[in-house]
Amino acid sequence: MQSIQSEGYPVIFENSIPELVKFVEQGNYSRFFILTDENTGEHCLPIVQTALAHLDNFDIIEVNAGEENKNIDFCVGVWKMLIDFGADRKALMINLGGGVITDMGGFVASTYKRGIDFVQVPTTLLSQVDASVGGKTGVDVDGIKNIIGTFTQPRAVFMADEFLHTLPPRQILSGLAEMLKHGLIVDRQYWDTLKTSDLSLPSTELIHRSVEIKNEIVLQDPHEKSIRKALNFGHTIGHAVETWSLLNDKDPLTHGEAIAIGMICEAWLSNQKTDLPDNELIEIIEVLGGLYPHYQITEESLPTLLEHMQKDKKNLNGNINCTLLTNIGQYSIDNICFADELCDSLRYYAAL
C-alpha cells in the first residue's frame, strides 16, 4: 500500500517497523529516545524494542497513560529526562503510543532546545487516523484540551496494523468516530462503505483512505485558517462533553464516544441551520446510535458544557463557532451557534 506524502514527510503503511529501523539507522542521530506509556510499554514497545535491539544508542522514557496526564507537568518531566540523558540537538524522539503520546511527545520535541527531530508511531486507531497528519502538537492546561502546542511536522509516521490487534473494542470505536467524520464532511461514498463494513477492526484500506482525506484537507490549510476547520465537525460540542466526562465520570468517555455525541448534536444543528435534510439527520443518528452507547446529559450540566465550549480554541470574538453539514459529504465552516441552540441540540440528544 502506497505511503501518503504529507507536508514534507511520508506516512508509511507497509513494512512499517523495518522502515522505522532503517530510518533510525540512516538518520545520523546522536541518540534516540522512545517515549511511551505503560499500556504501550506492555503491548507495543516489545515489538519495536526487538526490532531496534542491535542499536545501543537509545533510552526509553515511560510516562503514565491517560489524557489526564497530557499536561505541562509531564512535559517538564520529559524535558528533564532529556537533559539528564544528555540529549543534544541531533537527538531523535520516537513517539510510540496513542494520541496523548504523539501530541505531547511532539510538543516536547518541538520545544526541546528549540526543536529536535521526532517521528510518530501511533499505536491506536484514533491516533493513526487523527494524529498522524496535520502537524498539531499539544498539551492540556486546566483540563482545556490542547490549549498549548505548536504546528510542527514529524520527520515520518509509521503505521503498523499489528498494534491494533491488542486494542480493546472501545478503543477501536474511538478511532472509528473520526473515520466516520471524514466520510460525513467530504466523502459520502466513504461513509457508505464504512456503514456496510465489518467495523470490529477496520481494514488497512479503510484507515489509509481516512488518512488520505485528512491529509488532503490539512495540506490545503496547515494552520487552520479556513477549510481545515471542516475537521472540527462534532468537536465543538464533543470536546465539551469529553472535558465534562473527564472531570466527572469514574470511567470517562473515550474521545470517539464524545465526538459521536458531538456529531449527533451538530447534525441536529445542521438540520436547523444549514439545511441538512431530515433523512440524512436520521441516517447519522441511526449509524452512530447503533455503534455508540447513549450517554446521559442532564439539564444541570448544560451551563458547564457551554462554559467549556466558550473556551474552545476555534472561537473568535467571543462567538462559539461550529462546523456543520449541508449534506452528508459536504461541510460548512464558521457557523456561529448561540447558547440556546447549543443547549437545544444537547437536549435533543438527551431525549433520543
What residues line the site for a second copy (CB under 8 A)? 30, 72, 75-76, 79-80, 83, 86, 88-90, 107, 110-115, 136-138, 141-142, 144, 146-151, 223-224, 310-311, 313-318
Q: How far is the CB of 146 from a second copy (least distance, A)?
A: 8
Identity of the residue numbered 293: P
**Cβ at position 342, least distance to a second copy in Å:** 17
Q: How far apart are CA 263 and CA 274, in angstroms?
A: 14
Nearer Cβ to a second copy (208/229): 229
In the bound state with a second copy, the residue whose beta carbon lies nearer, of 257 and 312, is 312
Dist. CA 343–CA 272, nearest whole Å:
13
Shortest Å distance, C-beta 73 to a second copy:
9
Q: How far apart are CA 182 and CA 150, in angstroms?
A: 23
Rounded Cα–Cα distance for residues 274 and 268 (Å): 10
Strands 321-327 and 330-336: antiparallel
Query: Minimum distance between the CB of residue 71 and a second copy, rounded to whole angstroms?
Result: 9
Q: Are residues 159 and 207 in contact, defined by beta-carbon separation less than 8 angstroms?
A: yes
266 or 312: CB nearest a second copy: 312
The residue among 109 and 284 lying less far from a second copy, judged by its C-beta, is: 109
Give φ, ψ of 22 to 5 degrees: -60, -45
The answer to whether residues 266 and 233 touch, using CB atoms and an 8 Å cutoff, is yes
**Whose Cβ is closer to a second copy: residue 150's or residue 330's?**
150
> What cell numbers appear for 252 in the block?
470517562
Q: Work out how close the CB of 210 gets to a second copy at its nearest, in angstroms, rounded to a whole number.
A: 23
